[in-house]
Every structure is written in C-alpha cells, then in structure tokens.
Amino acid sequence: MRQLHTPILRSYTNIGTLGCHVTSSIDFFPFLQSTQRSEGFNAVLKRYVNPHKSILNFVKEYHKIQTHILIKEGCNDYRTEHLDLDMWSQFPIEKQAYKTYTRDLYCKFRDEFSMIGRYNAFQIGVETFELRPNTEWVVKYGYRNYLVLAKIPEGQFSCECTKMERDGILCCHILKVFTHIGLDVIPEQYMLTRWTPIAIPSVPSATSQQSDVMPPASLKEIRHANMTSDFQKLAKFACGSDAAKGIVDKHMRATRTEIVQLNKSRRKKGCKRGRSVRW
C-alpha cells in the first residue's frame, strides 16, 4: 500500500476510525441534494466567473452571485409568508396538504404535485406501478422510469426515489399513483407532524392570512442590492478619468455628510419621544 505523503490525505484515511456515519439515500436530510447543488453551482460559476481573471475578481463576482441569491430568497420568503397561496389544482389530496402543512412546506408540496402530469402510470404487477416520463427530461428526476410499490389495502406506498424517506414529503411518483387509482386522502403516516403548525406554532399555516407588508429586513436587502448595482454602473462610467472620479468623490462626501446628519436628527427625535413618554 502506498504511503500517504500529505497531511490532507492522511486525515481522510482517519475519518473511518473516528466513527463517521456513512449516509445512504434513505437517510433523512430534508431538501438537500449534494450532487444537484454542486453541479448547479458549477454551472453558475462557469456562466459568471472567468477562470482567466484574478482571485480578487473571482471574489467580487462570487459576492455578486451571493447577493443575487439572497435577494431571490428574500423575495421567495416574502411571497411565502405574506401573500395568499393559490392551490395548483382541485384534487382532494392537495386540499388536504393545503390545510395541513405550513405555508413553506405546502409550497414545496405544490411544486412536487405539479409534476404529476409529466409521468404516465402503468400497473405492471399486483402491487407495482411503473412511472414513465412523457417528456424527455423531468426536473430533479431526469429521464429514467421509477417503480412505486403500492399496498393499497394497507395504505403503504414507497418509491425508488426515496424522497419520502429523505425529505419527509411524498414524491410526484407516489402522488401520481394516488390520482391514478383515485385515492383522495393521503394516509396519515405520510403527513409528518414536523411539517405542520402543530410542531411550530409560530410558523403560519398555508390557509392563514398575512398582511401584504414586506419585512424591514427584506426591504433593506433589496435597497442594498439596488444601490450596489447602481454604484457599480456609476464606477464603470466614472473610472475613465481623474476628473470624473473627483466629481463622484465630491458627491459621495456630501452624501455621507447628509446621511450622518439625518441619523443624528432621528436619534434626537427618538430621545425627545422617550422623554415625553416618561413625563
């Protein structure tokens, strides 16, 4: 056996002696798909980052990507938490999920349920269904077929994709079998309590009404992203000469002074209000 000359490789060989848990596709890691995430992020880097530029440029481009992701996530959270949710269909099982899950989990269920139309279900055995995609490619699942084991009298269903075991919600393949056989109620064991308002009372349910007001943190993120983009455009426009840069610097100093004065005036008003409340 070859000797390992680098500390990093030797550290990897010691992982097994530390009792590291080896995971499989049926372990519960909700909504984490390492291969999909890494390949997707590699595609993002290839699109936005030039490998021939410097490390500093890479850091700047990575920061832009991260800002874009945070803004997108903030907008998604805003839609999820503050706007009314519309059901994708009128299937009874979707109505059941709509009334049972939290808002965020119902959105994930709805995205999964909306993919049932991309598969055709064929019964190939007494308790076995084969799900065949009717398109060339299905997002998250690819082009392959999936087998679903359905013990209908016992109310037990399982799929090769193991999404239920991994994420805790049913996959589109089992949901397709439900609609194929006319099952209108999701068995209780597949509606995990961890994804309901019972487990986390502070999380709104899918049916709860929320005011259409964006949270201050999301507003701050959006303002920061918009200002960063505008400043970058201005920098590209003004970096052509020292005179143009001097104009930008002058206005930036003036802007900074005005903002400092604005913050001071706000603090003074806050102190006056506090005193009036005490009196």
63-111: pLDDT as tens digits: 777 776 666 666 665 555 555 678 889 999 999 999 888 888 898 999 9
Range of the domain at 109: 92-195
In the numeric block, which tokens belong to residue 164?
A: 């239920």
Q: Look at residue 73 and tell me if it is in a domain.
A: no
pLDDT confidence of residue 91: 93
Tell me the CA distances in angstroms from 212 to 18, 71, 80, 83, 190, one per residue in order: 51, 18, 11, 6, 32
Q: Look at residue 155 and tell me if it is in a domain.
A: yes
User: Residue for token digits 């945070």?
Assistant: 70
**Total structural domains within the chain:** 1
Q: Look at residue 252 and tell me if it is in a domain.
A: no
Q: Look at residue 167 and tell me if it is in a domain.
A: yes
Q: What is the pLDDT of residues 1-25, one digit of tens each?
A: 444 444 544 544 454 445 555 455 5
| Low-confidence spans in the chain with pLDDT less than 50 | 1-6, 8-9, 11-13, 15-17, 22, 277-279
Q: CA–CA separation, 130 vs 54, rounded Å?
A: 51
Q: Look at residue 43 and tell me if it is in a domain.
A: no
Q: Look at residue 132 and tell me if it is in a domain.
A: yes
Q: CA–CA separation, 167 vs 33, rounded Å?
A: 10
SS3 at position 162: coil
pLDDT confidence of residue 135: 86
pLDDT confidence of residue 12: 45
Q: CA–CA separation, 24 vs 29, rounded Å?
A: 10
Q: Look at residue 1 and tell me if it is in a domain.
A: no
> Which ranges of the chain would DSSP assign to H, the alpha helix?
7-13, 34-48, 55-82, 92-100, 103-113, 163-167, 172-181, 216-238, 242-278
pLDDT confidence of residue 74: 62
- Single out the residue of 168, 142, 160 nearest to residue 29, CA to CA: 168
Q: CA–CA separation, 130 vs 148, rounded Å?
A: 6
- Single out the residue of 108, 109, 118 nearest to residue 176, CA to CA: 118
pLDDT confidence of residue 47: 65
Q: Look at residue 148 and tell me if it is in a domain.
A: yes
